[in-house]
Amino acid sequence: MQHSMSRTENCNKAVANGDALCCVDPDIAKLVRQEWQRQNCEINLIASENVAPLAILQTLGSVLVNKYAEGYPAQRYYAGCELYDDMERLAIERAQQLFAAAHANVQPHSGSSANLAAYLALLQPSDTILAMRLDHGGHLTHGARVNFSGRLFNVVHYGVSRHSQRIDYDEVLQLAQQHRPKLIIAGASAYPRRIDFGRFADIAAQVDAKLLVDMAHIAGLVAAGVHPSPLPHAHVVTSTTHKTLRGPRGGLILCRQELGKAIDKQIFPGCQGGPLMQAVAAKAVCFYMAARPAFRQYQQQVIDNARALAAALQQHGLSLVSGGTDNHLLLIDLHNSEISGQEAEAVLSRVGLVTNKNGIPFDPKPPRITSGIRLGTPGVTSRGMKQQQMQYIADYIATALTKRNEPDSLQTIAQQVRELAVAFPAYTSLPDSGCVAAIGDAT
Ligand code: DSN
């Protein structure tokens, strides 16, 4: 009869395997393990998510979590920050080099805090901002009424043209001339086309506004040079570091030299206290990796995969917002079909394809229902998938949507999705715990 191991024995075994979490908190350890399995067994098509490299996970899960480092390199409010100064300087220098930026702040906890600090540096409360509508592909922090940006500032929105579903630059100019905003924001979270940053800069110059580009979604493409950079055109560029850039969750601000002091002051002490130094160091690793030739190849594949996925979905008769994609994401337009975005997301989820419902321009359905599905290729490309696999994924999506009321068909697709997913694991050298192995004393 097999001897069942006691909790202590289990614990000792786990610690010996470098798995301290399992010993300290088996409940959370189990959930992390399950999430690790989910990531390996499902296919993640969420356009804003990615698979962070092991070096990033390792930096995040390190002793760097222990330190307060309020302030900036050589100007800290606590002792013991010399090594953190070196890490932050490396992150700053690498960000400046990667994006050809005069000034970089690597401390924002997120894209939202990056945007908040940038607005506070450039504007007074009640000043006017001109930004893209959320329901045409913009972002919450670009002036949505429920967000700080919509509450603190007077926001006017531009959108896309009904006909082309692309940004209507004539409308942007006309609104800028009418409302004389102090700040124009370009950038989006659900826009599959290239944005003409030069055109935005011309419009901003005509009305004496500053231009801020939020490049969170496309930062990796920009870093790799496979998408035009906003840096030559914008006064301030904000970003996250975890989307196409494939780094830790966090934010980044790049700006012209003359705005550097004001931006830094609004991050600390303006909006944040102690920086998350494990994330700052992980951003340094991310920028290092993003400057390597392999990253360029990866980003080109992200775009090639998005195009292949778009073409294959269209062959299945599915419509795409704006008719295709220039970047890492695409939007299926379901407004002429019987299924809503919400229902489509649920059906795809049942077969292991993780997506998000998304409003489409001029969507007749409310935001919780929507008529669209947003898909992105950064995650699947990080797992090594190429055009051939995009064809399979498009087949699975189209068949699952068509046969959504046939449980046997859905089960067959779920099996195919699982086989494809496990053939392209997210990580090949993580222990089963889903955690980077613990180092040293486990408890
Ligand atoms: N939540 C992000 C996205 O999915 O695009 C934006 O912040």
123 against 14, higher pLDDT: 123
Name the residue at shortest CA distance from atom 6 of ligand 1.
Answer: 189
**Residue 288 corresponds to which amino acid?**
Y
Residue 256 in this model has a pLDDT that exceeds 80: yes
d(CA 141, CA 240) in angstroms, rounded, equals: 13
Q: Return the residue matching tokens 């395997």.
A: 17
Cα(48) to centroid of ligand 1, in Å?
Answer: 6
Can you say whether residue 317 is alpha, beta or left, with left for phi > 0 and alpha for psi between -120 and 50 degrees? left
251: its two tokens = 């934010």
Q: What is the pLDDT of residue 442?
A: 33
Confidence band, pLDDT 50/70/90 cuts, at residue 432:
confident
User: Do the beta carbons of residue 208 and residue 158 sit within 8 Å?
Assistant: no
Is residue 214 part of the annotated active site? The answer reads yes
Cα(379) to centroid of ligand 1, in Å?
Answer: 14
| pLDDT tens per residue, range 270-308 | 999 999 999 999 999 999 999 999 999 999 999 999 999
Distances (CA, A) of 252 to 21, 261, 363: 31, 15, 32
Q: Are strands 103-105 and 75-76 parallel, antiparallel or unpaired?
A: unpaired
Residue 63 in this model has a pLDDT that exceeds 50: yes
CB of 165 shorter than 6 A to ligand 1: no
| pLDDT tens per residue, range 328-382 | 999 999 999 999 999 999 999 999 999 999 999 999 999 999 999 999 999 999 9
Q: What is the pLDDT of residue 441?
A: 40
Is residue 13 part of the annotated active site? The answer reads no
Q: Which of 38, 249, 386, 403 is catalytic?
A: 249
Residue 327 in this model has a pLDDT that exceeds 90: yes
The residue count of the chain comes to 443
| pLDDT tens per residue, range 98-116 | 999 999 999 999 999 999 9
For residue 255, the cross-strand partners are 103, 236
Closest ligand 1 atom to Cα of 140: 7
160: its two tokens = 């896309």
CB of 105 shorter than 6 A to ligand 1: no
Q: Are strands 71-72 and 183-186 parallel, antiparallel or unpaired?
A: unpaired
Residue 1 in this model has a pLDDT that exceeds 60: no
Name the residue at shortest CA distance from atom 1 of ligand 1.
Answer: 48
53: its two tokens = 């490299």
| Range name among 191-195, 375-379, 424-428, 430-434 with the lowest pLDDT average | 430-434
| pTM, entire model | 0.95
Q: What is the pLDDT of residue 434?
A: 77
User: Do the beta carbons of residue 130 and residue 185 sit within 8 Å?
Assistant: yes
Average pLDDT, the chain: 95
Residue 194 in this model has a pLDDT that exceeds 60: yes
235: its two tokens = 């006064």
| Range name among 24-28, 173-177, 245-249, 264-268 with the lowest pLDDT average | 24-28
**Beta-sheet strand order (sheet of 183-186):** 103-105, 251-255, 236-240, 210-214, 183-186, 128-132, 154-158
**Residue 324 corresponds to which amino acid?**
G
The CA-CA-CA angle for residues 72, 74, 78, to 5°, reads 75
**Residue 401 corresponds to which amino acid?**
L
